[in-house]
């Protein structure tokens, strides 16, 4: 955090010590959206700055809420699925929401693994056992939900947590877009022929912000 603050302070102080140029204005506005616009007397730069503060505040809020929800479903699983205290992977928590237990009884995760082993290696009990040994959850990862209702409630908490993660990812994208738009605006303001362009495109089903500038 400290190196970032030092960099930000340097960005704010250097323009006052050096002659302004298109490159320095672009760098300032790219790193601190709206800064160059405000210094140039374009009041909409304040809106860019306000947007930056709002987006970052939203990111912190979403991150905090996600951590709280993560702790909530962990403690819920401790109480109602009877998992051992510890640190687990996201895949483990996902399996908790899909199976009533980790055991070999009906509805258990290990029972599903045994069925897969039989399907993958019919008439080969040795390979079946190897597959089972490699993929089942051992006793120290065991769980057993008190009821299907408890597992459903746990799944709802998990869904809310995943939604917060998705919103956080979206907020990061909006933050990047705000920086790029601010930088592009500076390039356009320095160009008499408006040689800079910014547009949205789709590649492999993912939205992309495209930037084109002819130097």
Given a cut of 70, whether residue 201 has pLDDT beyond it is no
The pLDDT score that the predictor gives to residue 105 is: 92
Q: Is residue 13 part of a domain?
A: yes
Which of 160, 161, 142, 156 shows the shortest CA–CA distance to 97?
A: 156
Give the count of beta carbons closer than 10 Å to the beta carbon of residue 83.
20
Given a cut of 50, whether residue 24 has pLDDT beyond it is yes
pLDDT band at 19 (very low <50, low <70, confident <90, very high): very low
In terms of pLDDT, which residue wins out, 85 or 193? 85
Q: What value does the mean pLDDT take over residues 194-212?
A: 53
Residue that has been written with the tokens 């408006």 in this structure: 194
B/e letters for 176-207, b = 16+ CB within 10 Å, e = fewer, are: ebbbbbbbbbbbebbeeeeebebeeeeeeeee
Q: What value does the mean pLDDT take over residues 177-196?
A: 67
Residue 59 lies in domain: 2-102+137-213
Q: Is residue 115 part of a domain?
A: no
Q: Is residue 184 part of a domain?
A: yes
Give the count of beta carbons closer than 10 Å to the beta carbon of residue 171.
20
pLDDT band at 47 (very low <50, low <70, confident <90, very high): confident
In terms of pLDDT, which residue wins out, 32 or 113? 113
The pLDDT score that the predictor gives to residue 46 is: 84
Q: Is residue 153 part of a domain?
A: yes
Q: Is residue 120 part of a domain?
A: no
* Full-model pTM: 0.68
Tokens of 9: 């302070």
Given a cut of 60, whether residue 209 has pLDDT beyond it is no
Q: Is residue 110 part of a domain?
A: no
What is the number of structural domains in the chain? 1
Q: Is residue 156 part of a domain?
A: yes
Q: What is the pLDDT of residues 61-100, one digit of tens each?
A: 999 999 999 999 999 999 999 999 999 999 999 999 999 9
The pLDDT score that the predictor gives to residue 211 is: 56
Given a cut of 50, whether residue 177 has pLDDT beyond it is yes
How many Cα atoms occupy the beta-carbon half-sphere of 144 within 13 Å?
6
In terms of pLDDT, which residue wins out, 168 or 195? 168
CA 109 to chain centre: 28
Q: Is residue 113 part of a domain?
A: no
Judge whether 174 and 55 are in contact, CB under 8 Å. Answer: yes
- Mutual angle of helices 90-98 and 148-189, in 10-degree steps: 140
Mean pLDDT rounded to a whole number for the chain? 81
Q: What value does the mean pLDDT take over residues 149-153?
A: 96
Burial of 18 (0-12, 13-18, 19+ CB in 10 A): exposed
The pLDDT score that the predictor gives to residue 171 is: 85
CB within 8 Å of 196: residues ≥ 6 apart: 184, 187, 188, 211, 212, 213, 214
């Amino acid at each position: 955090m400290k190196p970032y603050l030092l960099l930000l302070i340097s960005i704010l102080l250097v323009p006052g010590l050096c002659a302004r140029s298109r490159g320095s204005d672009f760098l300032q506005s790219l790193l601190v959206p709206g800064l160059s616009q405000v210094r140039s007397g374009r009041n909409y730069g304040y809106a860019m700055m306000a947007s930056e503060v709002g987006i970052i505040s939203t990111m912190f809020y979403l991150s905090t809420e996600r951590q709280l929800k993560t702790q909530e479903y962990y403690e819920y699983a401790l109480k109602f699925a009877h998992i051992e205290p510890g640190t687990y992977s996201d895949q483990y928590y996902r399996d908790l929401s899909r199976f009533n237990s980790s055991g070999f009884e009906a509805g258990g995760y290990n029972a599903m693994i045994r069925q897969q082993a039989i399907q993958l290696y019919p008439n080969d009990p040795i390979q079946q056992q190897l597959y089972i040994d490699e993929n089942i959850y051992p006793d120290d990862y065991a769980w057993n939900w008190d009821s299907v209702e408890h597992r459903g409630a746990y799944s709802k908490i998990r869904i809310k947590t995943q939604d917060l993660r998705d919103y956080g990812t979206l907020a990061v994208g909006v933050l990047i877009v705000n920086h790029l738009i601010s930088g592009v605006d500076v390039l356009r303001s320095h160009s008499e022929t408006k040689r800079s362009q910014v547009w949205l495109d789709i590649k492999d089903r993912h939205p992309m912000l495209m930037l084109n500038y002819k130097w």
